[in-house]
Copies of this chain bind each other. A is one copy, B any other.
Amino acid sequence: MTHSIARAAVRKPFPPSLLEALKAAFDERVSVAEAVRAHHGRDESMFDPQWPDAVVYARTTQEVAAIVALCAQYEVPVIPYGNGSSLEGHLLAVQGGVTIDLSEMNRVLSIDAHDLTATVQAGVSRKALNDALRDTGLFFPIDPGADASIGGMAATRASGTNAVRYGTMRENVLGLTVVRADARIIHTGSRARKSSAGYDLTRVFVGSEGTLGVITEVTVRLYPLPEAISAAMCAFPSMGDAVRTVIETIQLGVPVARVEFVDALAIRAINRHSNLTLPQTQTLFFEFHGSETGVREQAQTVQDIAAQHGGQGFAWATRPEERSRLWNARHSAYFAMLQLRPGCRALTTDVCVPISRLAECIEQTEADLKQSSLLCPIVGHVGDGNFHVAMLIDPASPAEIQEAEQLNQRLVSRALRFGGTCTGEHGVGLHKMDFLVDEHGADAVDTMRAIKHALDPHNLMNPGKIFAFHGPH
Least CB distance from A119 to B in Å reads: 11
Q: Which of B432, B441, B448 contacts A199 (CB 8 A)?
A: B448
Indicate if A188 sits at the interface (CB-CB under 8 A).
Answer: yes
Interface string of A414-454 (1 = CB under 8 A from B): 00000111111111100010011001110111111011111
Least CB distance from A320 to B in Å reads: 19
Indicate if A61 sits at the interface (CB-CB under 8 A).
Answer: no
Q: How far is the CA of A195 from the CA of B201 in the complex (A)?
A: 18
Q: How far is the CA of A224 from the CA of B252 in the complex (A)?
A: 7
Decide if A192 touches B353 in the complex (CB within 8 Å): yes
Decide if A426 touches B186 in the complex (CB within 8 Å): no
Decide if B198 touches A440 in the complex (CB within 8 Å): yes
**Chain B, Cβ-Cβ closest to A164:** B193
Decide if B440 touches A193 in the complex (CB within 8 Å): no
Q: Which of B168, B208, B223 contacts A194 (CB 8 A)?
A: B168
Interface string of A183-211 (1 = CB under 8 A from B): 01111101111111111110110111000
Decide if B195 touches A421 in the complex (CB within 8 Å): yes
Decide if B451 touches A451 in the complex (CB within 8 Å): yes
**Chain B, Cβ-Cβ closest to A291:** B297
Q: How far is the CA of A204 from the CA of B205 in the complex (A)?
A: 10
Q: How far is the CA of A250 from the CA of B224 in the complex (A)?
A: 10
Least CB distance from A110 to B in Å reads: 11
**Chain B, Cβ-Cβ closest to A168:** B194
Decide if A180 touches B114 in the complex (CB within 8 Å): no
Indicate if A253 sits at the interface (CB-CB under 8 A).
Answer: yes
Decide if A115 touches B356 in the complex (CB within 8 Å): yes
Q: A193-B355, A424-B194 are in contact. Are A224 and B251 (CB under 8 A)?
A: yes
Indicate if A85 sits at the interface (CB-CB under 8 A).
Answer: no
Decide if B443 touches A194 in the complex (CB within 8 Å): no
Indicate if A59 sits at the interface (CB-CB under 8 A).
Answer: no
Q: How far is the CA of A332 from the CA of B72 in the complex (A)?
A: 55
Q: How far is the CA of A18 from the CA of B469 in the complex (A)?
A: 36
Decide if B192 touches A352 in the complex (CB within 8 Å): yes
User: Which residues of B have CB within 8 Å of A421?
Assistant: 190, 192, 194-197
Indicate if A116 sits at the interface (CB-CB under 8 A).
Answer: yes
Q: How far is the CA of A297 from the CA of B290 in the complex (A)?
A: 11
Least CB distance from A438 to B in Å reads: 10
User: Which residues of B have CB within 8 Å of A354?
Assistant: 112, 114-115, 117, 191-193
Least CB distance from A471 to B in Å reads: 12
Decide if B223 touches A253 in the complex (CB within 8 Å): yes
Q: Which of B114, B199, B226, B466 contacts A207 (CB 8 A)?
A: B199
Q: Can you name 12 A-B pairs with beta carbons within 8 Å?
A: A112-B356, A116-B250, A156-B196, A159-B194, A171-B171, A195-B423, A197-B435, A198-B436, A199-B208, A291-B294, A450-B454, A451-B451
- Where the two chains meet, the residues of A that have a C-beta atom closer than 8 Å to any C-beta of B are 112-117, 156-159, 163, 167-168, 170-171, 180, 184-188, 190-201, 203-204, 206-208, 212, 223-224, 226, 247, 250-253, 290-291, 293-294, 297, 350, 352-356, 384-386, 419-428, 432, 435-436, 439-441, 443-448, 450-455, 466-467
